[in-house]
Every structure is written in C-alpha cells, then in structure tokens.
Structure 1
C-alpha cells in the first residue's frame, strides 16, 4: 500500500558556516508511519542532521532540495515547520523546573489534545504527580513527562534526539508500545546505539558514515534472511582488517606466570583476566625480576621472553589501556595525531605522508564511529568515549595479531561499550587473539571464551570455560581463590 511521502531530500548538502562539510548529496524519503533508526559515526553527526531537518540550528548552511508534503521547506523557520507537523525533540527532557508537572504537560497542547494526553499519563509506567514541582522530579520522571507530551502533540514527523537513551531498556520497550497505540500514523526518526537496535522496532535504518547517508529497508532485509545485529554492523561501517591483513597460524602465543598457570591462546580467541584492580595485574607482565611473566610467540617459534622484550622484537602485539592519561595519550595533540602515531612502527621513515594519514584516519573513523571534528581537536577536550576509541584505533593501526586490552571500557558509556564489544568480536572473527583484562565480570561473561583470575599474592589461579563460564560461578570462584 502506498504511503504519503512526508519529507523528501534531494542532493541535500549540510555544512557549518565556518567549517567543513558535514553531509554531502543526501538523498532520502520519510513516509507516513515510518520508524527510522540512525546509527552514525558519532552522536554529533546524528544531532546535526536532525537539527538541520528541523531548522533549529543557526550555525548550519543547507543547500539542495528539502520538501515536506510536496512543499519546499528549505528556507522556512523552525516554527513554520512545526505548524506543518514537523517536530524536533532535543537530547534533554523539555521540562521547566519552575513549573508544576501539570503546567509542563499542558504546554503547547490544545483542549482536544489535553483530553488525549490524560490517557497517555495513565499508560505511563512512571508515576508523575501532576501537582508536584518539576524541580523535585528525577531524570526518569522528566524524560517520561517530556516524551508523553511530545506524543500528545501528534506530530506528522517526529525527529527525536538521544533523549530515549536516558530510559532503561524496559522503559524504552514500554514507550514504543505506547507510541504504536496512541500515534500509529506518525513517522519517527531517532538515533540508537548498537545495543539499543533490537529494542527500537523500525522498518528503515540509516547509516551515517562520514559525509554520507546509507538507507536500508529492514522489512525487505528481514524477509530475505534473518536480521541480526552483525548484519546491521556490516551495513553501518567498515569492518576491521585492511586488505593486507596477514594470515595467522592456529596457536599464537603462550603465557607462563609464577604459579601453576600455563596456557596457550589460539587465533580468534578472547581470553579474559578478571581482576578487581586491573592496574595491579598488568604491571606483572612487565616486571624485570626472575619471577616476571614469560611469553612465547608460537607463530614465530620464539624463546620465552618478557613482554616488553617481546614487543621490541615483533610488530604483532599491540596494547591499549583504559588508563589514558597514564598510558600513551598525548593530551595536547589532536586526535588525528594520536590515532596515526603508532602507524610509524610499520614505516621505515619517521613521518607519515598526508594522504596515507588521511586514508588511515578515514578507515578507523568509520570503524569506530568518530567524527572528523573530534580528530581535529586536542585530546584533552574530548569525551572519555572518544578518547578511548581513538586509542583503540591507534592500537589497531599496526595490524596486530595479539591485542592486549587493559580495562579498555573504563569510564565509557554503555552505548560506547557496546560499539567496542562489536569491534572486539570483529577482531576475533578475523583471527586476532585478544587478551581482555577487566574488572567488569558481566562483560567478560558475554565477551570471553575463557576467563582466568589470580589470587591477591599471584600464587594461585583459576580458569573458567565452557558451561562453567557464568557470572555467579566467576564471582564465587574469585572469593574462594582469595580466601585461600
């Protein structure tokens, strides 16, 4: 059945008034009853696109053709677009703390819309006292209050920024159920992370690699084959290995510590080391005394060596740490410099040609969902998520056969963690051995093939694998290990 085309963009170009082009030659359509998810190289890219379509940003220059219900809106104001039925919700709840919840909920609603809004409040799983001041609300109450009022406005097209991420997964499911009951004819466009993809039921998917928009029809995609997060990951960006990725032997390397722990790590295997203090475990690998850890590269038939000696002899090992300020980050340099710095290890010269650096940065910018603006800013002004992604990209730029990750997701948001997990699984799929050192037992349970842990004196060890690899088993075993 044909559906009304609400928003149509042809050769749309978006750039900052004094800055680079953000999107170039965008072509897409939004029809009535569409549910469109956006997965971008950065949250900023998602927000800028939505603000440009809603006309709420004065810092963007837009050219091309943009029409709503067949009429051009390219040079119209945000107020005029709202009158036509195109609404934008920012990433924060639209609630005024000086008003009561009732007064906040009535803002912008007509009498007919207000009668409808009362039934929306009753369907909410969150109790919102109408006579209470909004200043006393928690973030959950404010988010529900703002979103329910937004649904009550009955927009023809709703552009919703990252405000949905402030709700729990159960609340997100409940909201989309309410949306399907009270506003089935509206079209909604909203960003999501990889971890939220299965929650937000959509019929279309937009991927935003640098300066482009790729659209996928999820209904036709799911009819031809089962739709999985891995296939969405393929749609959204580049996968890990460059064209010259080297083949790897089955067994990569082995570890021998003081005590009874001796293991071999195979290609494509994610081995976890669980520690309450990863920053105490990791230095054991670099000790200079006779009891220091010894490593053997099986694929090169090397002798048992200390890790730092091993790294000096081979380019097949790379380390990335969650302790950014202490291990390897140049805070006064740009993200681009930090990302490409380790690439010099594979070069005979002491500098990188600008074209090579640009190609390298574009590859990992797409893989890790970074924006070009982030790469051009100094590292100290970037968020924890962006800093960690850049350092991960730097570790991958040397094409490692073994990646050691020390508390990699430390300080990162849940959405950014999900993206990192996808990259780590991609590495394992292509045969890279990952040694994952972390304090997060839950993430290790879902990510690792085997898990090891040490006693506080490093004299005793435990191993969990197969059916034993469960969260409750790991916590219980670590407690017994420390009790002796």
Structure 2
C-alpha cells in the first residue's frame, strides 16, 4: 500500500528501474506502471452495487476518456476482452459485481489492475476467499504475466502459492526481513525455519 501511495511509509525508498521515485497517490503509481491488487476485495476493492464494467475500469478511466468525456464504446470493448481473457463468469458486464462468485469478483479486480498496463503488479493475497478452480486460474494468469515480462510482487501467507510462483522469496517476521531465498533454496521447511528462528 505504501509503494502505490495508499499509505505513508515510515522509512525507506522506492527504486524503479534504478531510480528513486516518490509516489504520493495511486494515480502516480499507475503512470509509472505500478498497479496493486488489494488483499481485502470486499472492504478495499469492490464497488458492490456497481456493475462489472465500472469495477473493471474505475482505476483507469483516463484510458477511456477524451476531453473529460468517457468513451463508452472503448470502455466496453476493453471489459468484453477482459471478461473473455480472464474467463469471468457473469450474466454480463452490466451485472452488479456483488452477484458474482468470489473467484469471479477477484478476476474482475485483476482486470482492473491490468487496465493500467503495469510493468510492476503487486498482488496481495491474490487467492484469498476463492475456490480451488479459481485459484488455479489465478496462478496460471500470474505465470502468463511473468512470461510477458511483468514484474510480480506476490504477498502471500499460502505456502503453496509462494513455492509455486516465486523466483525469490523474502521471509518477513515482525515487519523485518528474516531471510531471502532463491527458488532452488526454498522449501516449506526452510521458509518456516527462517520465520521461526529470526530474531
């Protein structure tokens, strides 16, 4: 949240492509190519009484606006493509998002994060509260984004997804770095030991 300007950092710097950057709000983060998928979709992500279309594009309206006027055709084309690519199951883009399953709600929020065409995507507990089928689809999508060159910062308490999706694992304990492991070094045992033994 601090990286994308949603919270004030207490210390530290953000470096992007080797340069220090200061990010005060999510709009600036988006312009720099950084997008964020919140861990709490109900409290911080969804507009529950608004349609799928609005939930998918609310963070990137500049992409669909010219001279202050929203181009509904362009917006609908994006949402239709997003629904197809992410296999969002709903009655249509006009459906209020509260009527979708947890997994489909999460896929719409991923579509929102991708609408800014990020170079860096921060995903915080991306499969929390979704069923096993949606979880596997989200894993596959993250792997596809990595293959396309998107840098993914994965924050997760689920060992399965940490081990499956990570090239490098930073183990945190009480807000501090306990250790950093490569994919080759990482196992459930080494991660748990690092977290437990850290001072």
Q: Which residue pairs with 2:193 in the alignment?
A: 476
Q: Classify 1:437/1:310 alpha carbon distance in 2 versus 1 (closer, same or farther; 3 Å).
A: same
Q: Classify 1:406/1:418 alpha carbon distance in 2 versus 1 (closer, same or farther; 3 Å).
A: same
Q: Classify 1:453/1:311 alpha carbon distance in 2 versus 1 (closer, same or farther; 3 Å).
A: farther
Output the CA distance in 2 between the equivalents of 1:335 and 1:323: 17
Shift of 1:308: 3.8
Match for residue 28 of structure 2 among 291, 312, 315: 312
Output the CA distance in 1 between the equivalents of 2:187 and 2:162: 9
Match for residue 376 of structure 1 among 94, 107, 123: 94
Matched, 1:295 2:14: yes
Q: Which residue pairs with 1:467 in the alignment?
A: 184
SS at match of 2:91: helix
Output the CA distance in 2 between the equivalents of 1:371 and 1:398: 22
Output the CA distance in 2 between the equivalents of 1:284 and 1:318: 10
Give the CA RMSD over aligned residues.
Answer: 2.3
Q: How does 1:38-53 map to 2 (within 5 A)?
A: none
Q: How does 1:347-386 map to 2 (within 5 A)?
A: 347-371=65-89, 373-386=91-104
Assess if the C-alpha contact under 8 Å between 2:89 and 2:104 holds in 1. Answer: no
Q: Which residue pairs with 2:155 in the alignment?
A: 437
Q: Classify 1:295/1:310 alpha carbon distance in 2 versus 1 (closer, same or farther; 3 Å).
A: farther
Assess if the C-alpha contact under 8 Å between 2:86 and 2:107 holds in 1. Answer: yes
Assess if the C-alpha contact under 8 Å between 2:3 and 2:14 holds in 1. Answer: no
Output the CA distance in 2 between the equivalents of 1:452 and 1:304: 22
Assess if the C-alpha contact under 8 Å between 1:345 and 1:398 holds in 2. Answer: no
Q: Which residue pairs with 2:110 in the alignment?
A: 392
Higher relative contact order (CA 8 A, sep 6+): 2
Output the CA distance in 2 between the equivalents of 1:438 and 1:331: 24
Aligned length: 196
Output the CA distance in 1 between the equivalents of 2:67 and 2:143: 33
TM-score, normalised to structure 2's length? 0.87
In structure 2, the gaps of 5 or more residues are none
Assess if the C-alpha contact under 8 Å between 2:61 and 2:70 holds in 1. Answer: yes
Shift of 1:475: 1.4
Assess if the C-alpha contact under 8 Å between 1:284 and 1:292 holds in 2. Answer: no
Assess if the C-alpha contact under 8 Å between 1:284 and 1:293 holds in 2. Answer: no
Assess if the C-alpha contact under 8 Å between 2:163 and 2:183 holds in 1. Answer: no
Q: How does 1:76-155 map to 2 (within 5 A)?
A: none
Q: Which residue pairs with 2:45 in the alignment?
A: 328
TM-score, normalised to structure 1's length? 0.38
Please say which of residues 459-468 and 382-391 is displaced more in the overlay: 459-468
Shift of 1:381: 2.2
Output the CA distance in 1 between the equivalents of 2:176 and 2:114: 33
Shift of 1:315: 4.1
The Cα offsets for residues 121-178 of structure 1, whole Å up to 9 and x where unpaired, read as xxxxxxxxxxxxxxxxxxxxxxxxxxxxxxxxxxxxxxxxxxxxxxxxxxxxxxxxxx
SS at match of 1:303: strand
Output the CA distance in 1 between the equivalents of 2:109 and 2:15: 26
Shift of 1:303: 2.5
Q: How does 1:394-413 map to 2 (within 5 A)?
A: 394-413=112-131
Output the CA distance in 2 between the equivalents of 1:355 and 1:311: 23
Output the CA distance in 2 between the equivalents of 1:469 and 1:400: 28
Q: Classify 1:375/1:292 alpha carbon distance in 2 versus 1 (closer, same or farther; 3 Å).
A: farther
SS at match of 2:152: strand
The Cα offsets for residues 357-409 of structure 1, whole Å up to 9 and x where unpaired, read as 22101211111111351532212222111111101001111111110111111
Q: Classify 1:393/1:376 alpha carbon distance in 2 versus 1 (closer, same or farther; 3 Å).
A: same
Q: Classify 1:389/1:293 alpha carbon distance in 2 versus 1 (closer, same or farther; 3 Å).
A: farther
